[in-house]
Amino acid sequence: MMLKLKLEALILTIEQLPTLSDISTETLALIEADDTSIDEMSRFIERDQALALQVLKYANSPFAGTTSAVSSIKHAVVIMGLNEVKTLLLALTLQHFFASSGRDKENRRHFWKHSLICSHVANYLARSFQLRADSTVFISALIHDIGKIVVDQYLHDEFIKVVEYIEKNHTTFNEAEKAILGLTHYQIGAKLLRQWSFPEQIISQVYHHHAPWLDQRYRQGATILYLANILTKMAGFSCLAGEKKLELAQFSTSKAMRFIRESGFPLNKELLARLLTDISHLLQDADDFF
C-alpha cells in the first residue's frame, strides 16, 4: 500500500472507532470527577466482583508497596489512593476495550506492563520532586502509547511491519512509524483521545510525550511523563524488547536532560542513577502482577 493511502486508511480507522463512553460511561464519569469520595469509589468497585478481585490483586502487589495483606476494598482504596485507583480503573476499561486476540497476547502484556509502570513512575517522580499531585499526569502516563494499540488492533499487518523495522534497524517507534505509516503513535493517540473527549491537558501531554519542550501549555506534566517513560525503559520495561536502548550515561549528557533541568527539576547524573535504582527496586517483583 502506498504511504498516502495507508495514512488515509489509518485516519479513517481512528475516526470510526466507537467512543469509549459507549462502553463505560459510569466508570469514565468516576475517573473524571474531582470529588469522588473513598466510600463512593469503594462501593462502585464492590458492585463488580471481577473488578473487586483485580483491585485487591493490585493492592497486594509490589506496586502498592504494602507490607501487610489487604483484604477489603475500602482498605485497598485507602492504601492506593484515589488517583492510583482511577488509573487502574482506566487501565482495566481500556484492556477490555482493546481486547487482544490470542496471537498478540505477549505483545499486549508487554504494552500494559510498560504503561502501568510508567504511570507508577510518574507518580513516584511527582512525589520525589514534591510537585502538587495532579491526577492528569498518572492518566497521561497510562495512555501515552495508546496509538500503538490502535495500529496493532486495527492495522495489524502494518503494526508487524513497524515492529520488524524496529528490530531490524534498532530504531525507535517514532522513526519506524514515520517510515511505515507516515503517522506516529503520539499523533494517533492524541487524535483518538480528542475524539473520546479527554481533557485537553491529557491530550497535550500524550501528544508531547517525546518532546515536552514543544508543549507550550502543560509543560510540567509533559516533562514528568517524558522522564517517566525514559526511566521505565531504562529500568527494563520497554514496550518492545527489540527497541533501541537508552543508556543512563548517554542520556545524562543529552539536550533533553538540560531541558529538564532548565524546567526546574534539579536532576543530575547521580540523582538520575539513584531514581533508577529506587524504581528498579520498587519494581523488582512487578512481573508477578502481569
Residues that bind Fe ion (CB under 5 A): 145, 229
CB of 184 to Fe ion, least distance (A): 8
CB of 1 to Fe ion, least distance (A): 24
CB of 257 to Fe ion, least distance (A): 18
CB of 230 to Fe ion, least distance (A): 9
Cell readout for 27 is 466508570
CB of 186 to Fe ion, least distance (A): 6
How far is residue 211's CA from residue 144's CA, in Å, rounded to a whole number?
Answer: 12
CB 151 within 8 Å of CB 185 = yes
Q: Tell me whether residue 82 or residue 150 sits nearer to Fe ion (CB atom).
A: 150
CB of 196 to Fe ion, least distance (A): 18
Q: Tell me whether residue 204 or residue 229 sits nearer to Fe ion (CB atom).
A: 229
CB of 203 to Fe ion, least distance (A): 14
How far is residue 28's CA from residue 96's CA, in Å, rounded to a whole number?
Answer: 14
Q: Tell me whether residue 208 or residue 219 sits nearer to Fe ion (CB atom).
A: 208
Q: Tell me whether residue 44 or residue 207 sits nearer to Fe ion (CB atom).
A: 207
Q: Tell me whether residue 136 or residue 229 sits nearer to Fe ion (CB atom).
A: 229
Q: Tell me whether residue 25 or residue 169 sits nearer to Fe ion (CB atom).
A: 169
Q: Tell me whether residue 246 or residue 273 sits nearer to Fe ion (CB atom).
A: 246
3-state secondary structure the chain: CCHHHHHHHHHHHHHCCCCHHHHHHHHHHHHHCCCCCHHHHHHHHHCCHHHHHHHHHHHCCHHHCCCCCCCCHHHHHHHHCHHHHHHHHHHHHHHHHCCCCHHHHHHHHHHHHHHHHHHHHHHHHHHHCCCCCCHHHHHHHHHCCHHHHHHHHHCHHHHHHHHHHHHHHCCCHHHHHHHHCCCCHHHHHHHHHHHCCCCHHHHHHHHCCCCHHHCCCCHHHHHHHHHHHHHHHHCCCCCCCCCCCCCHHHHHCCHHHHHHHHCCCCCCHHHHHHHHHHHHHHCCCHHHHC
CB of 146 to Fe ion, least distance (A): 10
How far is residue 222's CA from residue 260's CA, in Å, rounded to a whole number?
Answer: 11
Q: Tell me whether residue 45 or residue 148 sits nearer to Fe ion (CB atom).
A: 148
